[in-house]
Amino acid sequence: MGIQITPSILNADLSRLADEVARIPSADWVHVDVMDNHFVPNLTLGLPVVEALSKHASQPLDAHLMIEDADRWAPAYAEAGCGSVTFHAEAAKAPVRLAREIRAQGARASMALKPATPIEPYEALLAELDMVLIMTVEPGFGGQKFLDLCLPKLRTARELVRKHGLETWLQVDGGVSLETIERCAEAGADVFVAGSAVYSAEDPDAMVQALKATAEA
Ligand code: DX5
Ligand code: ZN
């Protein structure tokens, strides 16, 4: 599949979501951060807004659910039209069942790991997942500093995917910029979330293209 860029709209102008998404035609996906003020200390948007946006975005939505009750809510995001749904390993009570439910709704199933959550206990689960999200900041806010300490886990994830002959995509999220994206690509990521780097740029779409070119180099 190659390198893919999925800008996060968290730092976009949330009062004009559809317009903000239209500014990034080069993006492969649109990353939507759903926060419930329980799993993370922040509250963003939920199912009705995601459903509305999915009708107005030309790219598929990549929903990142930072919510406690993932088992209950994640399949509904697939049903609402998201092309990919990511739940957190720390929040899911039955991740295998959940991944299967998401896939049954026709979306890609993905699982996220916070910086302190190891990947090894989830090795057997990889075949159930279309993507693993390795967080490179503590989830909750855009604009935080990239955590290099997450890179060894990304390397391990890449080794495990290779070992099992899988096609699982590896996504990084948090502090991804022109300065840090090469390190992520080198460690094995192929899907890159970038929030503030894209939406604080004067020309967000040019930044999407620059990020892709840098990751591919
Ligand atoms: C953080 C979110 C990220 C965030 C990324 O909890 O999951 O998607 O929007 O923003 P930046 O790229 O600014 O770190
Ligand atoms: Zn995110």
For ligand 1, whether the C-beta of 161 sits within 6 Å is no
Q: For the chain, give every domain's residue range.
A: 4-216
Residues 108-165 have pLDDT tens digits of 999 999 999 999 999 999 999 999 999 999 999 999 999 999 999 999 999 999 999 9
A 10 A CB-CB count for 65 gives: 27
Residue nearest to atom 12 of ligand 1 (CA): 195
**What CATH number has the domain spanning 4-216?**
3.20.20.70
Q: How far is CA 85 from the centre of its chain?
A: 8
Residues 151-206 have pLDDT tens digits of 999 999 999 999 999 999 999 999 999 999 999 999 999 999 999 999 999 999 99
Residues 47-83 have pLDDT tens digits of 999 999 999 999 999 999 999 999 999 999 999 999 9
Is 83 annotated as belonging to a binding site?
no
Among 196, 199, 207, 211, residue to substitute to test ligand 1 (most atoms within 8 Å of Cβ): 196
DSSP-derived 3-state class of residue 61? strand
Among 5, 6, 9, 11, residue to substitute to test ligand 1 (most atoms within 8 Å of Cβ): 11
**Which residues are annotated as catalytic?**
33, 173
For ligand 1, whether the C-beta of 136 sits within 6 Å is no
Is 106 annotated as belonging to a binding site?
no
* Nearest Cα residue to 71 out of 51, 98, 90, 50: 98
Which residues touch 186 (CB under 8 Å, ≥6 apart)?
A: none
For ligand 1, whether the C-beta of 83 sits within 6 Å is no
Query: Residue 47 corresponds to which tokens in the numbers above?
Result: 């199912």
Question: What are the backbone angles phi and psi of residue 38, rounded to the nearest 5°?
Answer: -120, -55
Complex confidence, ipTM: 0.99
Which residues touch 138 (CB under 8 Å, ≥6 apart)?
A: 114, 115, 144, 174
For ligand 1, whether the C-beta of 95 sits within 6 Å is no
